[in-house]
Structure 1
Amino acid sequence: MKEPLDAASLCKTFDLNFLSDAAILSEKDDIIGQPRAVKSLETGLNISHVGYNIFVSGAAGTGKLTAIKQFLGKRAGLQPAPSDWCYVNNFGDPYRPKIISLPAGHARNFRSDIKKLIDEARSALKKAFTSEEFSEHREAIVDKMKRKQNELLSVLDEEAKKENLTFRTSPMGIFIIPVKNGKAIDETEAGKLTDKEIKAIREKQEKFNKRLDNYLDERRKIEKAAQEEIDDLGRKAALFAIDALIRERKSAYQSLGDIVTYLDEIKEDILHNIPAFLDGESKQNQAKALFGGENDEESLLAKYDVNILTDNTDMIGAPLIIEPNPTFTNLVGKMEKESRFGALLTNFSLIKAGALHRANGGYLVLPALELLRNPLAYDSLKRCLKSKHIEIEEATDSLGILSAKTLKPEPVPLNIKVVLMGDSHIYSLLYELDNEFRELFKIKADFDTAMELNESAIKSYAGFIGKLVKEEKLLPAGKPAVERILQYGCRLIEHQEKLSTRFGKIADILREASYYAGLEGTAEITALHIERAIEEKFYRSNLLQEKLNDMTKEGSISIETEGERTGQVNGLSVIDIGDIAFGHPNKITVSTDMGRDGIIDIEREAKLGGPIHSKGVMILSGYLYEQFGKQTPVSISARIVFEQSYAGVDGDSASSTELYAILSSLGGIPIKQGIAVTGSVNQKGEVQAVGGINEKIEGYFEVCRLKGLTGNQGVIIPLQNVRHLMLKKNIIDAVNEKKFRIWAVNNIDEGIEILTGMHAGTADSKGEYEPNTVKFLVNNRLKEVTAKLKEFSIGQNGRVPAKAYKNSL
């Protein structure tokens, strides 16, 4: 009969003599235990072609974000800082602001230079236009215009006298008045005129009106010519005043063609808007309506402002931006609005950068799930990556609805590496359903949840502990504490030769252990503090387990841990409630009789069994046919049920348990109720590994402890699960004291012998089993059932139906 496992195999122990105290205090900055992911990251970052962005996949808690921040941070620090980007006014079309690129750290100086230029230009213009020389030239032009107008007026007056006419000007126009005896005719005299005289005067007036129109045309031409001459004078004076200022700035930025062009545009705009720089209020009001400002002076200068979109003055290396909330506007930027006279207005100075702008020339890290949750965000990101430009637009424009006249800023060239963070499920969905995703995220960096346990891994764990202690000012951890942390790492991954890479959980235990050590006033974290942190963490969430154990102890949930029963075995299941998982026994019973229904899974019939559990039950029929159906038809009806189970059941870890119960029921052999069982089985009777092995053993041990340990209790597990054992100290102590036992079996024969104390039995060449064995009794029972079934069929029909007999085979 199989011997139980010794205590040494129930939990991994460590010899840390090779680990120095300095190693524990050192810091580990590399990505720990992820060689595959590191290689993928290096490949994606080193290939500069379009589409080689990265999707970092892996379970939560593996330290993906922290590792990516460290990895990209080191790389970014070795690269040059990217260019500054600014938006400036487009004087030709203010609704299409222009983008300007400057070397890193030069945007502030550029904005300051432009502001200073405008201030100096205003001063120079006011000085030029208030100078005595300019006034003299202007007065000369005005005097010249007046002389020409007076000459025209004199000629007109002479012509009017010859026709006995004169004219008077008023705000309503020029009126032609008849003259008599050298005096203008008033209303009284006009009333005395004869019809003939009136008709003659009207003919003269109509004739002179044509001459008057010619005079007015000539007068306007003289005024226009004078105004053009004054404007030309003003333009020359303005050009002379600001040309040196513009040339000075162009010389400073001669290597930046966009800025040189922009300075030329500023010069032209100033020359076309000289009154706005002097005393033209209408021009200022127009600027205020479009560009805003607290007063007319601010409004005037606003259109010459420089909107710094990204400022990398203080940037050391390339930017690394982590955007936790990747909304549409947070990604591509936005155009803010100001309320003016009840309307929402915007201008180029209200354009704000998004995460893509801030990360331009570097790296952008985004959570994939949040990106997909935000409308338009994922599509806008793909559009930017494909076009290699960032285009800021309104959300309604992106959707093609409610389009209104607004700004259309010039797109910003994009040079970036995007890293999406998510789990494997999101990656699979995107890869399968989105062709563009495959083209834009060609590199997958998969973070594993486990790493091989070796000396290097132990040093990495120690380095991680040292770094966390230093960064978060925790108490230092001694070697015993490190060993307990290593055991916890093995427990998380359920393997004695692997360590978990869920460093988030490791860090939580260290923080809590440091807290408990602080409460006790100790100088360092010990193994007891780590143990307390683990137990307290479990205790905070295991209320349901305690309720179930209390119900089991008082008998509300029927679990027998002593005596023997036929067709009844204690199976083990795991209950996962999110933050913790725990094991609990289930009573599994089987009833058998003659029939041709085969094995009936009551859980499935009640629609409580999952597909994997149903598959496991079906495999049991294959085992029975394999072992007993070669010589005798297997003609039985067996009903399997999880007693007092009212929720769904899935998984095949109870299939070996169910098979033991079937064999017990068929052979009439009692099973020791103190021994619980877990493990799946195949048709050949080989017991296979299952998950949650530690939780199952600990859950059953706790029930046995509450009911009273007798020394006859224990658990049968698959042999392949021995390497997964990382049990609690109280179980190891109980095993050492012979109060609890754990057996590891390779097949059903080994397990049934432990449960029944009877030899399993071996078939001879004829398929017969030696007497007084489990299989002998089962085989005899099957023969009896088959014989009775034949008798019953003959009694009913007088013969054995060929179809029924065939089915029984």
Structure 2
Amino acid sequence: MPKQFPELSVNKLRAQIDESLLPFETTASLESLEKKVVGQDRAIDAIKFGMGMKTLDYNIFIAGPSKAGLTYMAKTFIEDQAKKEPTPPDWCYVYNFKEQDKPLSLRVTAGRGKQLKKDMNEFIQTLQAKIPEVFDSDDYRSKESEVHQGFEKQRREVIDELSQQAKDEGFILQFSQVGMVIIPANEEGEPMTQEDLRHLSDEEKTALREKSDALHEKMKEAIKRIREAENEFKEKHTKLDNEIALFVVGQLMDNIEEKYKDDEHVLDYLKMVQEDILENIEDFKKKPEAQQPQPGAAFPIPARETTFRKYDVNVLIDNSETEGAPVVIESNPAYPNLFGSIERQAWFGALFTDHTMIKPGSLHKANGGYLVMKALDLLKWYISYEAMKRALRDREIKIEDIGELYGLFSTRTIRPAPIPLNVKIILTGDPYIYQLLYTYDDRFQKLFKVKAHMDDQMERKDEAIVDCARMMSSFCKDHGLRHLDKSGVARVLEYSMELTENQEKLTLELGNISDLLKEANYFSSLDNSEFIQRKHVEEAIRKRIYRSNLIEERIKEYIEKDIFWVETEGEKVGQVNGLSVLMAGDHVFGKPNRITATVSVGREGMVSIDRESKMSGSTHTKGLMILTNLLKERFAQKYPISLTASLCFEQSYGMVDGDSASSTEFYVLVSAISKVPIRQGIAVTGSVSQKGEIQPIGGVNYKIEGFFDICKHKGLTGSQGVMIPSKNVRNLMLKQEVIDAVKEGKFHIWPVTTVEEGIEILTGMEAGKIQEDGTYPEGTVFRKVADRLQEITEIVKEFGKGSENGKKKEEESEGGCPHCGV
């Protein structure tokens, strides 16, 4: 008689939170959690290290599952740490007075960029108002008139002297549109006519020509003296203007320079502004005119305004309200969003741009702090990813047009000076993405040297339970939800263990928990309850499943109607119920599968129909190979195995993968060989080793509940149940309906360690232990297997001999006498 294997007791089927042991009545009484991230000590330590390493090579990749709250952790924890760091400076773009198409980047003390812009606007407006007044004043006119009169006096003296010299020589100095002209005069002092010149003798004409030449030389000298006086006048006039302008500009500029005396870069810029204003003082002498719209312009830009746009300060980054280092989360890292852009404005039918139209990107905003992005979002924008790596390598941010950057087209535009880059990039994503980038991108290895690997579960300790309750309290406060009472907290914690499929672990996939709290709050509002209770959480879980399990219900319906054939009563040879897990997007459920085996005489070995039809994966193939070697290890120690066997997942129309059915396939194969029937009310799961050990598998709760639901619909007989690996007992978080059935003896769960234990539960016979002579005891399953395999071997052997003799006779008949050939 086979020995009796103990079933699992009810208290091992599910871990439950004792509400009476919770040190609070409701989450409303709990204080907010100081550390906003729970159970991620490893990741937090890595992030702290990465934040502490102030070099651009030590960027951080936070790796973890999508629902583990990667972005939330980056936002909350890193923001808290960043507040303790110094605030970075402001950055502005200003006009480059030396190279107009290369605006200058200007570093300004944090929070003073806006003030500089305001001061410059007021400064230029004041100059526009004061300079015309000064140059229109009586004092300036008096000084200007004095300089002008001096020039006119000097000019008049030169002309009078030349005129007298001409008169003395018998000539007249006249002025025309082309300048000064020296004309011969007659005795009356009137200009000679052509008739008078014809009556002169040759000697008189020669003398007159010589005098004229001499006077023209003197006239050239006079003109030169006048021009020198004119240049002297211009210099004096310019000097006067500069003195007047410098008096006005200097006074105003001194006030600004005093305000920014600690900003060396600002002082250098102010000096350039002052020099340019003095060089272009004529632009300020004109009084402001009424704004006139320019034809073809999208926005009216007065010509006078464009003249003074070069003095505008474009505040690119304003950290006046930033506390500590900035933390920027970029959800759409397209190139312009990341690196900034240069806008253009329509003006006279053409596109116009200048330093005031430079717009910042996320890198600018996060400069001096931290930029958080999802790795997958960044990789979707290949150009952004490559440009980011280049910026980290060069340690500067350049604002460039994408087309010009990659040589697609080239248009005349401005090229802003780069800004020094001092930012810590934080990428979040799946560990698989990190591994791919680390393996195939050599520059990624050099730039992202810190991996913060987030866990998806934590130990279920008392302090962890309280921390989770505090997190629920904080979440309810932040999102305006009802608080939970003790029963609601207990059920949420149990759901957390259901997600981990481990009685000793709580999930850290905060996205699932936060969604559950919102849904439970909805059902508590329908109940007009003050707090979220256990029943509300239960209802939220039930409705969540109901919204997604249409496919599961349809499959169950097919099984009930025997469209999908699954037997839950009686015994059969070569047939057993295996358990698999199906994933339908947002819903996972267990599905029983009828697995059959046939055995016949032959030498083909074991054949999987699913593998031969290419409907199984590599892991399933590995399980079959392990199964083959297990058979050899158990039954091929004295003689070789000769058989032809086939295995099949009946009514399976999709891919089969995984090795969790390898123990199931062993049982059905043993049954088919030994002709010992298997109880159909028992379903099996578990992978097997070459030594016959039952190894743990995944999805154990889905598998048990899936078979239980089928048995319930077909009718519970009290003899039905599931065999699971003993290593999976800690993973049990079964629903209450299954627990109640086990408690009432209507359903059973057996933990097994070896295939021998499983055979005995399934067949009711002893499996058998190999004896010293290499055989198994009589009346055991394995003895029946061994006997049948030996029988098949003998049949194959005899058949082989017969085939060889027949073949030999046929050859002799066809070939005649071997000696004579007749």
Higher mean C-alpha displacement, 253-262 vs 225-234: 253-262
Give the partner amino acid of 2:148.
Answer: V
2:813 equivalent to 1:798? no
Q: Which amino acid letter does the alignment assign opposite residue 79 of structure 2?
A: G
Deviation at 1:164, TM superposition (A): 6.7
Displacement, 1:468? 1.4
Q: How many residues of Structure 1 are paired with residues of Structure 2 in the alignment?
A: 797
The equivalent residue for 1:677 is: 684
The residue number in structure 1 matching 2:106 is 100
Which deviates the most, 770-779 or 785-794?
770-779
AA aligned opposite 1:618:
M
Q: Aligned equivalents of 1:665 and 1:555: distance in 2? A: 23
User: Partners in 2 of 1:800 and 1:657 — Cα distance?
Assistant: 42
Q: Counterpart in 2 of 1:6?
A: 9
Verify the 8 A CA contact 2:565 2:594 in the aligned structure 1. yes
Is the contact made by 1:61 and 1:503 (CA closer than 8 Å) also made in structure 2? Answer: yes
| 1:216 Cα offset (Å) | 4.1
Q: Are the aligned partners of 2:56 and 2:424 in contact in 1 as well (CA < 8 Å)?
A: no
1:18-76 deviation per Cα after TM superposition (whole angstroms, max 9, x unaligned): 32226733222421111111111122222223422211000111122212222112212
Q: From the superposition, tell whether residues 214 and 3 of structure 1 become closer, same or farther in structure 2 (CA, over 3 Å).
A: same
Instruction: Provide, for residues 611-654 of structure 1, a one-character-per-residue CA deviation record: whole Å limited to 9, x for no partner.
Output: 10001011111111111111232101111111111211110011
Task: Show CA shifts across 1:385-412 (max 9, x none).
Answer: 3333323233244335534443333332
SS of residue in 2 equivalent to 1:80: coil
Q: Find the counterpart in structure 1 of residue 150 from structure 2.
A: 144
Following superposition, the deviation at residue 185 of structure 1 comes to 6.7
Name the counterpart of 1:28: 33
The alignment partner of 1:55 has SS state of strand
Is the 8 Å Cα contact of residues 794 and 800 (structure 1) preserved in structure 2? no
Secondary structure in 1 matching 2:21? coil
Matches within 5 A, 1:152-171: 152-158=158-164, 169-171=175-177
Paired amino acid for 2:747: F
1:82 aligns with 2:88: yes
Match of 1:589 in 2: 596
1:220 aligns with 2:223: no
The separation in 2 between residues aligned to 1:800 and 1:612, in whole angstroms, is 43
Q: Secondary structure at the match of 2:105?
A: strand
Matches within 5 A, 1:42-53: 42-53=48-59
Shift of the 22–52 alpha-carbon distance from structure 1 to 2, 3 Å rule, reads farther
- Is 1:365 paired with 2:368? no
Q: Which amino acid aligns with 2:149?
A: D
Q: Which residue of 1 aligns with 2:819?
A: none
Cα distance change on mapping 1:154 and 1:513 into 2, 3 Å? same
User: Is the 2:56–2:422 Cα contact (8 Å) retained in structure 1?
Assistant: no
What residue in structure 2 maps to residue 446 of structure 1?
453
Alpha-carbon distance in structure 1 between the residues aligned to 2:54 and 2:802: 85
Amino acid at match of 1:143: Q
Q: In structure 2, what is the Cα distance between the partners aligned to 1:202 and 1:672?
A: 145
Q: Quick check: 1:335–1:351 contact (8 Å CA) kept in 2?
A: yes
**Aligned residues of 1:288 and 1:300 also touching (Cα < 8 A):** no
Gap runs ≥5 in structure 1:
802-809
1:262 alignment counterpart: 269
Is 2:296–2:346's contact at 8 Å kept on the other side of the alignment?
Answer: no
**RMSD over equivalenced CA pairs, Å:** 3.1
Q: Residue 471 of structure 1 corresponds to which residue in structure 2?
A: 478
Aligned to 1:417: 424
1:111 equivalenced with 2:141 (yes/no): no
- Sort the Cα spacing of 1:193 and 1:488 in 2 relative to 1 into closer, same or farther, 3 A: farther
Q: Does the CA-based 8 Å contact 1:571-1:588 persist in structure 2?
A: yes
Alignment partner, residue 648 of structure 1: 655
Q: 1:276 aligns with which of 254, 279, 283?
A: 283
Q: 1:41 aligns with which of 47, 58, 66?
A: 47
Deviation at 1:208, TM superposition (A): 6.8
Larger displacement relative to structure 2 (86-95 or 505-514): 86-95
Q: Which amino acid aligns with 2:18?
A: D
TM-superposed CA distance for 1:306, in Å, is 1.7
Q: Which one is further off, 612-621 or 29-38?
A: 29-38
Q: Would the alpha carbon gap of residues 197 and 711 (structure 1) be closer, same or farther in structure 2, given more than 3 Å must change?
A: farther
Counterpart CA distance in 1 for 2:725 and 2:172 is: 129
**Identity of matched residues, %:** 39
- Structure 2: distance between partners of 1:548 and 1:789: 43
Contact kept in structure 2, 1:793 and 1:799, CA below 8 Å: no
Give me the whole-angstrom Cα distance separating, in 2, the residues matched to 1:198 and 1:796: 155
CA shift in 2, pair 1:171/1:7, >3 Å: farther
* Superposition pairs of residues 111-510 of structure 1, within 5 angstroms: 111-158=117-164, 169-171=175-177, 182-184=189-191, 215-279=222-286, 294-400=301-407, 402-510=409-517
Match of 2:453, SS state, is strand
| Preserved CA contact (<8 Å) 2:60 2:452 | yes
Alignment-derived partner of residue 774 in structure 2 = 767
Distance in 1, matches of 2:184 and 2:562, equals 133
Contact 1:598/1:637 (<8 A) preserved: yes
Give the match's secondary structure for 1:570: strand
Question: What amino acid is aligned across from residue 160 of structure 2 in structure 1?
Answer: S
Q: Secondary structure at the match of 2:734?
A: coil
Identify if the C-alpha distance between structure 1 residues 317 and 332 changes in structure 2 by more than 3 Å, giving closer, same or farther: same
2:541 to 534, 543, 552: 534
Between the aligned partners of 1:421 and 1:247, the Cα distance in structure 2 is 50
Moved more, 609-618 or 480-489: 480-489
Alpha-carbon shift at residue 122 of structure 1 (Å): 3.4
Task: After TM superposition, give the deviation of residue 706 of structure 1 in Å.
Answer: 2.2
Deviation at 1:427, TM superposition (A): 0.8
Q: 1:236 to 1:632 in 2, by over 3 A?
A: same
Structure 1 residues 544, 124: closer, same or farther in 2, change over 3 A? same
The 8 Å contact of residues 59 and 449 in structure 2, kept in 1 or not, is answered as yes
- Shifted more, 732-741 versus 784-793: the winner is 732-741
Question: 2:557 aligns to what?
Answer: 550
Q: Secondary structure at the match of 2:762?
A: helix
| Cα distance change of structure 1 residues 375 and 784 upon mapping to structure 2, 3 Å threshold | closer
Structure 1 residue 172 displacement after superposition: 5.8
What per-residue deviation string (whole Å, max 9, x for no partner) do you get for residues 516-541 of structure 1? 11112122212121111111111111
How much has 1:346 moved relative to structure 2? 1.8
Structure-2 separation of matches of 1:159 and 1:776: 150
For residue 620 of structure 1, what is the amino acid of its counterpart?
L
Distance 2:358 2:301 in 1: 19
TM-fit CA distance, 1:513: 0.9
Deviates more, 1:197-206 or 1:686-695: 197-206
Equivalents in 1 of 2:60, 2:196: separation in Å?
A: 100
Question: Could you tell me how far 1:337 is from its partner in structure 2?
Answer: 1.6
Name the TM-score, length of structure 2 as normaliser: 0.91
Match of 2:724, SS state, is: strand
TM-fit CA distance, 1:254 = 2.0
Q: Distance in 1 between matches of 2:551 and 2:211?
A: 118
Give the Cα–Cα distance (whole angstroms) in 2 for the partners of residues 15 and 227 of structure 1. Answer: 99
Q: Partner of 2:605 in structure 1?
A: 598
Structure 1 residues 767 and 137: CA distance shift in structure 2, 3 A: same
Find the aligned partners of 1:570 and 1:186 in 2 and give their Cα distance: 138
Aligned-partner Cα distance in 1 for 2:134–2:600: 117
Whether the 8 Å contact between 2:681 and 2:721 is mirrored in structure 1 is yes
Q: Following the alignment from structure 1 to structure 2, what is the Cα–Cα distance between the partners of residues 498 and 96?
A: 60
Q: TM-score, structure 1 length as denominator?
A: 0.92
User: Any idea what SS the aligned residue of 1:260 has?
Assistant: helix
